[in-house]
Chain A
Amino acid sequence: MAVVEQPCYTLINFPTDLEPCNEMQLKLDLEKGDTKKKIEALKKTIGIILSGEKIPGLLMIIIRFVLPLQDHMIKKLLLIFWEIVPKTSPDGKLLQEMILVCDAYRKDLQHPNEFIRGSTLRFLCKLKEPELLEPLMPAIRSCLEHRHSYVRRNAVLAIFTIYRNFEFLIPDAPELVANFLETEQDMSCKRNAFLMLLHADQERALTYLSSRLDNVHSFGDILQLVIVELIYKVCHTNPSERSRFIRTVYGLLNASSAAVRYEAAGTLVTLSNAPAAIKAAAACYIDLVVKESDNNVKLIVVGRLGALRAEGGEGAARALPDLAMDVLRVLASSDLDVRKHTLQLALELVSARHAEELVQVLRKEAARAHSADHDDAAKYRQLLVRAMHKAALKFPEVAGSVAPALLELLGEGSEAAAHDVLLFLRHALHAFPDLRDHIYQKLVESVRSVRVGRPARAALWLLAQFADTPGRARAALHVLADVIEGAADTQPESGPAAAPRRLVTSDGTYATQSAFNLPASGAAEGGAAEGGARLGGALLEGESFTAVCACSALAKLALKLPRQEAARALHLAAVLLARHKQNAGQRGGLTADDMEHAALCVQAGLAGAGLGGGAGGADVRRALLDASDAALAALLALPDREPHLLEDVDKEREPKRQEQKVEIETGITFSQLAGAGASGSQHDMFELALNKALQGRSGGEAIDRGKLCRVRQLTGCSDPVYAEAIVSVNQYDIVLDVLLVNQTDDTLQNCCVELATLGELRLVERAAEVVLAPRDFASLRAHVKVASTENGVIFGNVVYEVTGASMDRGVVVLNDIHIDIVDFIQPAHCSDADFRQMWAEFEWENKVSVNTNMTDLHEYLQHLLASTNMKCLTPEKALSGQCGFMAANLYARSIFGEDALANLSIERPLHKPGAPVLGHVRIRAKTQGMALSLGDKINMMQKASHQKPADPTPAA
């Protein structure tokens, strides 16, 4: 771990197929060529160094023949060259040659061309060698007084970084810069100087700021931004200062630059939790969202508002609801994502006082969206419906006004929104008995126009289920009779409908999924709808399943009606069935299942209503009427039955609940012993965000925890070189910390670890060669980059030379390191609908047979979840109980954003107690690699579990 990595400022992806550079030719060009040739050669050299090769021979040539040139292009290229060229010898000493270069730097710092001075100063910010910087200090200082602001502002930055890295070189930097700041006029220079003070000496920065507190408004925007940052930092470390600056920050809420307003609003809420402050900040945010035309800004600022609400505590709770209506102004934007987040936010913010108003606005929006003929309009309407649904759940008092609004949207039911409307109706009919009459009546009115199968079925079910009073039942029967008889009279002809596809719904019943054949049948029925009533079209010409649903609805109605009308209902059902039977030649007709179900319904209706023979009327009644009531209540009681506007909202909140568990290897921090600034948790958000961005996963606690269990032995204990590695996966790279131990009594020269990869892995950095003294050890580090979620293998060997030995090279082959795909997979959540859609879309399926000796279905599922890092989407309730089989949907997403779906269907043979679980897991993914790797993983997991339980407990 002693290896310090070079920072990387430049990446140029030169095409690799260029002709290999001839070092001799390069040397010749650099030495003898004219300026143009030298420029080209220098560019090539930079390219070579950037690609990771080292050409030490060129350094001196460049110093001798290129450095003295005055050409601007060469000067600039040289700065990049110096930035990337290794300036130290392998043992960490500064190269001799660099002293020569140092003089060139000094000359450039005194160059008459202000741009050369400036860019040289900027380059010095990146220089990490105090030996080189020391002789330059006087020149750098003098650049502070240069006439051109370009030079001055870069000089300030140079002083800043030098002070930060090597304080001893310029101990008086804060004072110097503070004095500079006093007299400086240029905005950029002032900003940089202030930035320096902000990081180096907050006291001085504060003094400066407080003397000019009243003039802050007249400063330039970039300076204002830094001032806001300073205020944030100061108040973060020293809360008592808060009151001094609130006024300033508040003033900046009206700054002319939008960026400053945004920043000021963010800082204001950290300064104060008072409702007034939160309100001011939120108002500022809303103003930004409404005024800025950019969708990015809208989304992020809406996100900030959401965070404000979540974290603002009591103040936010008091201040924000008033602003909910303002938030809705954002809906005017055309982007679906923005609208989605806005609706979510508005629903969270709104209080009972404004609920009515909110619903009014949403209704208006829905009406507007109805007329709009946009791609997203349908989706938007669906969103609005869900939003209104949620509002009605949250504030039951508005349900009354929501219901009619939604029924307007039911339309002919060909839209995505229609289904959501019916979901709402189901909920409303169930939950608000006092509204039932009204809603039911409306439903009866609008059900005629429903044409598409799926909503039609849902509507029929609702009609039958909630026909509590004879009046309602009669109305429903009337409508159905109208529809069926009316449609049966006319003889509309229509093309053959698409063959329905049989699928298993999430709750285990067979259903014809309308998502697949919706467009086709919709088109086919289009013609039919003109003739008869629309619902009639769906019943008579549409899929047979719809007709069967109608039968079962009619049977239910029959049970609820007096004898005579019951007979009529059953008669209607029979007519319907007959019609379908009659049509059996033209189209698929009734499938056996549908036929059976329909016949059962009619018979049950007969029995229940006491019309025909047969007994058990009470049982039928219970089965048909009460059981569905109970099932509905249970379904609605499930926690995740609320409509989702945003899938990821819940997911994001989850990790916040931190486990209060301390792992074995965690160090204990004593706050008394920790340095003032060192206490990790007190970093402000800017630094935190920066650290996170630079290092990947925050803090690395996850890595530390697992460190010891991730050690892998690479060679045998009796090999001449023992090697082991800690493999840590850090988001997109894998870091191998390799420990090499020389087990022999010889000095091993040029000992190096040669690694190669298989799969979508790429070696970024090779480990350096080391010399190992007898019985010595060394640790190396190698980086491997991961390009996609696939299993990969890293293999290689240790090569060493022994001085004076007969054999020239020794090679020890390393044990393969398998990179586990699970490291890249994170459990994720997605809605049922999304899951189905992806399941239908994804091209790659990998079917893995279950081959295990586990005997418990649940145990197997848990084991699968644990070993693949997937999340089970099927609710716990649906999985509970013992019935001998189990079906579950699993979902995960890789860190590269790839989706992985899995469906588990397993059973336990009932007649053989103690027999292992049977069945299969089907994995679907967009890419082959993902599906294959995940399958491999499951196979491996099964193998592993085979052995483990086999030893201690022979299958009972």
Chain B
Amino acid sequence: MVLIAATVCTKSGKALVSRQFVEMTKARIEGLLAAFPKLMTGGRQHTFVETESVRYVYQPLDKLYMLLITTKASNILEDLETLRLFSRVVPEYCVQLTETEVLNQAFNLLFAFDEIVALGYRESVNLAQVRSFVEMDSHEEKIYQAVRQTQEREAANRMRERAKELQRERLEAAKRGQPPRSQMSFGSGFGSSTMSSSSPSESIAEKIPTTPARDTRTVGRSAMKLGSRGTDADSFVSRLRSEGDVTAPVASPAQHDAGKPVPADHKDVHLRFEERLNLIAGRDGDIQTFELSGLLTLRISNEQFGRIHVHVDNKDSRPLQLQTHPNVDKEAFRSTGVIGLKQAQRPFPMHSDVGVLKWRLATTNDDKLAPLSVNCWPSEGVNGGCDVNIEYELEQDHLVLTDVNITIPLPSGNTSVVVHQWEGSYTQKGRNLIWSIPLVSKQQKTGSLEFTVTPSIPNDFFPLSVTWTSETSLALLTAVKVTQAEDGSPVDFSQEISFHADKYEFV
């Protein structure tokens, strides 16, 4: 059960990167690695070699081998499991499976290998966990840093105030003709003239945080504990996942907004409906998670349209949760579907995207909500391969989806992919087959793809993910008109609708 070393080597047997998990001499490991290419004979359908003392288990990865050296008493089933994980980790870090790329990523590979095996025993981890372990992206560290920064700032502020106070005292004392009370403590080095500048506060601020910082760490920890107190592995994983999901949407709109020049066709009043869909469905089409979130942003680039009303029509019969910005007149929206500011005399902010309305649709178990259903049907064929039939169908007639990409994972290793029938186009990128359909609409609702992969098992082809862009929205919300707040005269406006999938997966 002891794994001695994990190595990436070339087909000719040159070891590129190797990590040993038990204590051994360099001469020994080099000897073992040098013997491997000679022991390996082609034309076999199994991928292990046994010698007097060790067992080599390997898996080809394009022009490379992922090689594990184990003891002979080692559990082969366990080793193969480990090997599978290893050979998924390598392509994860190396874009191409070539010698140079492996050497470029040598250190990342070493770090990743370390996470998989501890002292020769397999750790129970999956690819995502390895990835996050290697990234070392720690929530706690961020909190710690934030707390530390706040403390530094506070300390600096306190210091500045204190300095001011002292100075005031000193001035007052000077006025009263008394010697300043605390002059002695500042010593001669500073001199009274430099007192007002920020230099003392800085010099002290550097020292201060050391002690409070250590205290705050425990505060931070206990604060986190309230949020999620499970120590179980599952909750750990799910927490990682939830964090990953929370951070992604927060980060992405920020990127959208920043630095994007306003396109020419935008009128002075521009509405933008943005919808994102998060969906996980089972292979049978049962929806496990469905979360649609939308945001209506308003951008006004002319001051004369600062005070306007946006009339929104909600035709949706589904339980859409609508939420307006706190500054928007909620009552008016609820009764008449008008978005305007609560304080009627104030204008909307200029030249920036202002989110005014959010909507959300989240259900589970309602199978009719999915915009696009994908039916992936792998069936085991002869000689260890799978015949896969994939079919999609547009479920919501009002949608027009463009650039639909269906990404089908392929098994790692040496596989042959033969596509028999397709609509649209397909490409094979790395270990994925990407099926692209330029347009899916009411007129062209369905399409199918058939291919065969050997060797493979049905599980290889999941999770399947879908992306698209669309200028129609899933929720039936539309802006009818925009009027001036005072007189109700119509205002010319432009609108833009975007609907895409953040995560659309069939697992």
A residues adjacent to B (C-beta < 8 A)? 5-15, 43, 46, 72, 75-77, 80, 111-116, 118-119, 122, 125, 147-150, 153-154, 157, 160-161, 185-188, 191-192, 195, 220-222, 225-226, 229, 257-259, 262-263, 288, 292-301, 334-338, 685-686, 688-690, 692-698, 730-733, 735, 764-765, 783, 785-788, 895-898
Q: Which of chain B's residues 30-72 have a Cβ closer than 8 Å to chain A?
A: 30-35, 38-39, 41, 44-48, 52-54, 57, 69-72
Chain B residue with minimal CB distance to A685? B73
CB within 8 Å for A695 and B28 given contacts A76-B111, A77-B107, A296-B47: yes
A112 and B38 contacting across the interface, CB-CB below 8 Å:
no
Which of B14, B35, B138 sits near A732, CB closer than 8 Å?
Answer: B35
Chain A nearest CB: distance from B88 CB in Å?
Answer: 16
A113 and B111 contacting across the interface, CB-CB below 8 Å:
no
B residues adjacent to A (C-beta < 8 A)? 1-2, 4, 7, 14-35, 38-39, 41, 44-48, 52-54, 57, 69-78, 80-81, 103, 106-107, 110-111, 114, 118-119, 121-125, 133, 135-138, 140-141, 143-144, 217, 220-221, 224-225, 231-233, 236, 383-384, 457
Chain B residue with minimal CB distance to A694? B24
User: Roughly how many angstroms separate A6 CA and B20 CA in the complex, as a whole number?
Assistant: 13
B45 and A337 contacting across the interface, CB-CB below 8 Å:
yes
Q: Which residues of B contact A114 (CB under 8 A)?
A: 138, 140
B30 and A11 contacting across the interface, CB-CB below 8 Å:
yes
Chain A nearest CB: distance from B378 CB in Å?
Answer: 15
User: Roughly how many angstroms separate A786 CA and B57 CA in the complex, as a whole number?
Assistant: 22
Q: Which residues of B contact A153 (CB under 8 A)?
A: 118, 123
CB within 8 Å for A686 and B384 given contacts A72-B136, A294-B80, A297-B80: no
User: Roughly how many angstroms separate A301 CA and B81 CA in the complex, as a whole number?
Assistant: 16
Name the residue among B39, B80, B224 with the largest chain A CB count within 10 angstroms. Answer: B80
Chain A nearest CB: distance from B131 CB in Å?
Answer: 12
User: Roughly how many angstroms separate A877 CA and B25 CA in the complex, as a whole number?
Assistant: 48
Q: Which residues of B contact A698 (CB under 8 A)?
A: 52-53
User: Roughly how many angstroms separate A690 CA and B120 CA in the complex, as a whole number?
Assistant: 10
Which of B34, B384, B457 sits near A787, CB closer than 8 Å?
Answer: B34
User: Roughly how many angstroms separate A301 CA and B48 CA in the complex, as a whole number?
Assistant: 13
Q: Which residues of B contact A896 (CB under 8 A)?
A: 35, 38-39
CB within 8 Å for A147 and B231 given contacts A337-B46, A787-B34: yes
Chain B residue with minimal CB distance to A692? B53
A112 and B103 contacting across the interface, CB-CB below 8 Å:
no
Chain B nearest CB: distance from A489 CB in Å?
Answer: 47
A732 and B31 contacting across the interface, CB-CB below 8 Å:
yes
CB within 8 Å for A80 and B31 given contacts A112-B138, A221-B124: no
A13 and B16 contacting across the interface, CB-CB below 8 Å:
yes
A785 and B34 contacting across the interface, CB-CB below 8 Å:
yes
CB within 8 Å for A147 and B221 given contacts A336-B45, A732-B32: yes
Chain A nearest CB: distance from B418 CB in Å?
Answer: 19
Chain B residue with minimal CB distance to A301? B76
B16 and A12 contacting across the interface, CB-CB below 8 Å:
yes
Can you list 25 A-B contacts (CB < 8 A)?
Answer: A5-B26, A8-B24, A46-B107, A76-B107, A113-B138, A115-B137, A149-B231, A150-B133, A160-B119, A188-B125, A191-B121, A258-B77, A295-B45, A336-B45, A686-B1, A694-B24, A697-B52, A698-B53, A731-B31, A732-B35, A733-B27, A733-B30, A783-B27, A785-B30, A898-B38
Name the residue among B32, B143, B224 with the largest chain A CB count within 10 angstroms. Answer: B32
Q: Which residues of B contact A258 (CB under 8 A)?
A: 77
User: Roughly how many angstroms separate A586 CA and B465 CA in the complex, as a whole number?
Assistant: 71
- 3 closest cross-chain pairs (CB), A and B: A732-B31, A689-B73, A112-B144
A697 and B123 contacting across the interface, CB-CB below 8 Å:
no
CB within 8 Å for A297 and B76 given contacts A112-B217, A187-B233, A897-B41: yes
Q: Which residues of A contact B29 (CB under 8 A)?
A: 8, 11
Chain A nearest CB: distance from B223 CB in Å?
Answer: 12
Which of A9, A188, A689, A787 sits near B71, CB closer than 8 Å?
Answer: A689
Q: Which residues of A contact B217 (CB under 8 A)?
A: 112
Q: Which residues of B contact A148 (CB under 8 A)?
A: 236
CB within 8 Å for A220 and B124 given contacts A14-B103, A294-B80, A334-B45: yes
A788 and B38 contacting across the interface, CB-CB below 8 Å:
yes
A334 and B383 contacting across the interface, CB-CB below 8 Å:
yes
A292 and B77 contacting across the interface, CB-CB below 8 Å:
yes
Chain A residue with minimal CB distance to B140? A112
Q: Which residues of A contact B21 (CB under 8 A)?
A: 9
Name the residue among A80, A693, A697, A786 with the largest chain B CB count within 10 angstroms. Answer: A693
User: Roughly how many angstroms separate A226 CA and B53 CA in the complex, as a whole number?
Assistant: 22
User: Roughly how many angstroms separate A795 CA and B210 CA in the complex, as a whole number?
Assistant: 61
Which of A119, A149, A733, A787 sits near B236, CB closer than 8 Å?
Answer: A149
Q: Which residues of B contact A735 (CB under 8 A)?
A: 27
A119 and B71 contacting across the interface, CB-CB below 8 Å:
no
Given A263-B75, A334-B383, 9 additional A-B pairs, CB 8 A: A7-B24, A13-B103, A116-B138, A157-B118, A263-B78, A296-B57, A693-B70, A694-B23, A896-B39
A296 and B46 contacting across the interface, CB-CB below 8 Å:
yes
Q: Which residues of A contact B54 (CB under 8 A)?
A: 692-693
Q: Which residues of B contact A897 (CB under 8 A)?
A: 38-39, 41
Q: Which residues of B contact A157 (CB under 8 A)?
A: 118-119
User: Roughly how many angstroms separate A467 CA and B46 CA in the complex, as a whole number?
Assistant: 48
User: Roughly how many angstroms separate A912 CA and B66 CA in the complex, as a whole number?
Assistant: 64
Q: Which residues of A contact B17 (CB under 8 A)?
A: 11-13
Q: Which residues of A contact B118 (CB under 8 A)?
A: 122, 153-154, 157, 192
Q: Which residues of A contact B72 (CB under 8 A)?
A: 689, 692-693
Name the residue among B70, B73, B232 with the largest chain A CB count within 10 angstroms. Answer: B73
User: Roughly how many angstroms separate A698 CA and B71 CA in the complex, as a whole number?
Assistant: 13
Q: Which residues of A contact B224 (CB under 8 A)?
A: 147
User: Roughly how many angstroms separate A649 CA and B53 CA in the complex, as a whole number?
Assistant: 18
Q: Which residues of B contact A222 (CB under 8 A)?
A: 121-124
B31 and A785 contacting across the interface, CB-CB below 8 Å:
yes
Chain B nearest CB: distance from A783 CB in Å?
Answer: 4
Q: Which residues of A contact B41 (CB under 8 A)?
A: 897
Q: Which residues of A contact B122 (CB under 8 A)?
A: 222
User: Roughly how many angstroms separate A148 CA and B14 CA in the complex, as a whole number?
Assistant: 39
Chain B nearest CB: distance from A183 CB in Å?
Answer: 10
Q: Which residues of B contact A764 (CB under 8 A)?
A: 26-27, 30
User: Roughly how many angstroms separate A72 CA and B132 CA in the complex, as a whole number?
Assistant: 12
User: Roughly how many angstroms separate A37 CA and B28 CA in the complex, as a whole number?
Assistant: 34
User: Roughly how many angstroms separate A787 CA and B14 CA in the complex, as a whole number?
Assistant: 12
Q: Which residues of B contact A160 (CB under 8 A)?
A: 119
A296 and B52 contacting across the interface, CB-CB below 8 Å:
no
B25 and A5 contacting across the interface, CB-CB below 8 Å:
yes
Q: Which residues of B contact A297 (CB under 8 A)?
A: 76-77, 80
CB within 8 Å for A13 and B15 given contacts A297-B77, A693-B54: yes
User: Roughly how many angstroms separate A296 CA and B106 CA in the complex, as a whole number?
Assistant: 28
Chain A nearest CB: distance from B240 CB in Å?
Answer: 11
B225 and A147 contacting across the interface, CB-CB below 8 Å:
yes
Chain A residue with minimal CB distance to B114? A122
Q: Which residues of A contact B106 (CB under 8 A)?
A: 12, 14
Name the residue among A337, A689, A786 with the largest chain B CB count within 10 angstroms. Answer: A689
A693 and B1 contacting across the interface, CB-CB below 8 Å:
no
B136 and A116 contacting across the interface, CB-CB below 8 Å:
yes
Chain B nearest CB: distance from A81 CB in Å?
Answer: 11
Chain B nearest CB: distance from A834 CB in Å?
Answer: 13
Q: Which residues of A contact B1 (CB under 8 A)?
A: 225, 229, 263, 686
User: Roughly how many angstroms separate A698 CA and B140 CA in the complex, as a whole number?
Assistant: 49
Chain B nearest CB: distance from A112 CB in Å?
Answer: 4
Q: Which residues of B contact A298 (CB under 8 A)?
A: 46
Which of A8, A119, A187, A686 sits near B2, CB closer than 8 Å?
Answer: A686
Chain B nearest CB: distance from A44 CB in Å?
Answer: 12
Q: Which residues of A contact B383 (CB under 8 A)?
A: 334
